């Protein structure tokens, strides 16, 4: 079904009885050309681009829970391409360009909102680092504006400029950054893939891999054996657990990250704001709730929930930055599992097992990457060679010392 003004009008006139489910809830077949493990944003986007760009449609996406139940439905919805390193900028800019035309491509309202992302700086050293980042972005054709205190004040007068422990000196603004509705992104890709013949199988957990003569031949699942010529792992926070089923040990630790939503208020925050003196970031949803988050909980876990000390830490950061939110009530908070690599950058690569591919290590930045990761992972699976925009995201880069340490934090996953 094509969504348009006319389909809306027709259904409005007929009691909204004509809408059909956005995608088929498929039963698994016994054999496919390719199987994608994980029905999150990355898995669904990969299936969509395999079908759209490479004509490979005999595919199943196997999801152990339900579409949207993982991080794709748990993130704080920020999209941006304000990276520093050459390995990262072209990839995230490709993703940003795909975001800009996503709704037309998918014929689905993903509520992409380019409201701008503002990273605040609070010291001369931080300003210089942001100037360097902004220059690197511009050299790659990405928009970046370095603002001084007065310019930031004109945009965000409610921030604490006057009696703050960490006075705001300015900010690095990417105007094309912003937010997108996370569930809608999953639903839009699921619909686009399903329309092209992809089977999306929910409640189907992969419990093992069939490996014959060093080559993958399918998967064992809670709904039986499924054979496939190619198998792609795209399970985010569960990457190390699932890869271990194929005998692989990944350079990844899983950590919890929490997100928070306040009660709804009138429009206050025009863009996404990040606090440069602590780990806190905030935006306002179209419904009026303030959506915010901060640091990882700080211990390894596969639980999709966090603990109170982090709630306190995040709220302290928020109140330090904008004291007025101290009077708001938090409506909801939740956790997601982050697949943290040792350098903070992702992996899109083949594995040592023939026919087994890996998309992992997105840390807490994989939502913005969904379109490009799907496109590049599909390219790798279809052609057996990396897409040029994701050429640096190799699995063996840690052994080679070719790390992409965007933050300069060193080899400590929980710090990235």
Ligand X SMILES: Cc1cc2nc3c(=O)[nH]c(=O)nc-3n(C[C@H](O)[C@H](O)[C@H](O)COP(=O)(O)OP(=O)(O)OC[C@H]3O[C@@H](n4cnc5c(N)ncnc54)[C@H](O)[C@@H]3O)c2cc1C
Residues lying near ligand X in the complex (CB under 6 A) are found at: 37-43, 62-65, 69-72, 74-78, 205-206, 234-238, 242, 257-259, 293, 336, 362, 364-368
Q: Is 38 or 170 the residue whose CB approaches ligand X more closely?
A: 38
DSSP string, 85-120: STTTHHHHHHHHHHHHTHHHHHTS----B---EEEE
Least separation in angstroms between CB 68 and ligand X = 7
Distance CA 407, CA 118 (A): 17
Least separation in angstroms between CB 253 and ligand X = 14
Q: Do 241 and 234 meet the contact criterion of CB atoms below 8 Å apart?
A: no
Number of separate helices (H) and strands (E) present in the chain: 11, 18
Q: Is 344 or 355 the residue whose CB approaches ligand X more closely?
A: 344
Q: Do 128 and 135 meet the contact criterion of CB atoms below 8 Å apart?
A: no
Give the list of residues 6+ apart from residue 391 with CB closer than 8 angstroms, or none.
none
* Position of minimal CB gap to ligand X: 40
Least separation in angstroms between CB 258 and ligand X = 6
Least separation in angstroms between CB 41 and ligand X = 3
Q: Is 44 or 403 the residue whose CB approaches ligand X more closely?
A: 44
Distance CA 383, CA 366 (A): 23
Least separation in angstroms between CB 74 and ligand X = 4
Q: Is 127 or 250 the residue whose CB approaches ligand X more closely?
A: 250
β pairing state of 289-300 and 356-360: unpaired
Least separation in angstroms between CB 304 and ligand X = 8
Q: Is 41 or 355 the residue whose CB approaches ligand X more closely?
A: 41
Least separation in angstroms between CB 163 and ligand X = 29
Q: Which of 315, 322, 383, 394 is nearest to 361 (CA)?
A: 394
Burial group, residue 164, by CB count within 10 angstroms (0-12, 13-18, 19+): middle
Q: Is 153 or 405 the residue whose CB approaches ligand X more closely?
A: 405
Q: What are the DSSP E strand ranges found in 213-317?
A: 215-221, 224-233, 252-264, 272-275, 280-284, 289-300
Q: Is 261 or 320 the residue whose CB approaches ligand X more closely?
A: 261
């Amino acid at each position: 079904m094509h969504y348009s003004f006319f389909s809306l009008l027709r259904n409005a006139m007929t009691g909204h009885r004509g809408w059909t489910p956005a995608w088929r809830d498929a039963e698994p077949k016994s054999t496919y050309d390719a199987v994608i493990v994980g029905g999150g944003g990355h898995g669904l986007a990969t299936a969509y681009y395999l079908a759209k760009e490479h004509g490979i449609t005999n595919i199943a996406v196997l999801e152990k829970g339900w579409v949207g139940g993982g991080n794709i439905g748990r993130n704080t919805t920020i999209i941006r391409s304000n990276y520093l390193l050459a390995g990262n900028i072209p990839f995230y800019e490709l993703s940003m360009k795909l975001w800009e035309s996503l709704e037309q491509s998918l014929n689905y309202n993903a509520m992409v909102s380019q409201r701008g992302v503002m990273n605040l700086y609070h010291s001369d050293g931080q300003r210089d680092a942001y100037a360097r980042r902004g220059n690197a972005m511009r050299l790659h054709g990405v928009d970046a504006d370095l603002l001084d205190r007065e310019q930031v004040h004109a945009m965000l007068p409610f921030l604490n400029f006057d009696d703050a422990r960490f006075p705001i000196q300015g900010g690095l603004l990417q105007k094309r950054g912003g937010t997108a509705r996370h569930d809608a992104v999953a639903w839009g890709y699921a619909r686009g893939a399903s329309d092209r013949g992809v089977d999306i199988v929910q409640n189907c957990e992969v419990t093992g891999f069939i490996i014959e003569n060093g080559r993958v031949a399918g998967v064992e699942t809670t709904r039986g054996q499924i054979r496939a010529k190619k198998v792609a792992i795209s399970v985010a926070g569960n990457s190390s657990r699932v890869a271990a089923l194929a005998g692989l040990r990944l350079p990844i630790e899983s950590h919890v990250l929490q997100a928070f939503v306040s009660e709804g208020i009138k429009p206050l925050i025009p863009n996404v704001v990040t606090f440069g003196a602590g780990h806190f970031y905030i935006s306002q949803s179209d419904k009026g709730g303030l959506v915010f988050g901060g640091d990882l909980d700080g211990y390894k876990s596969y639980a999709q929930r966090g603990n109170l000390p982090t709630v306190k830490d995040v709220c302290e950061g928020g109140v330090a930055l904008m004291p007025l939110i101290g009077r708001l009530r938090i409506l909801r908070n939740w956790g997601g599992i982050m697949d943290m690599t040792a350098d903070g950058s992702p992996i899109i690569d083949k594995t040592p097992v023939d026919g087994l591919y890996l998309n992992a290590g997105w840390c807490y930045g994989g939502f913005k990457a969904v379109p490009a990761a799907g496109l590049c992972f599909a390219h790798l699976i279809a052609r057996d060679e990396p897409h040029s925009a994701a050429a640096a995201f190799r699995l063996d880069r840690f052994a080679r010392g070719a790390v992409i340490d965007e933050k300069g934090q060193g080899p400590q996953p929980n710090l990235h």
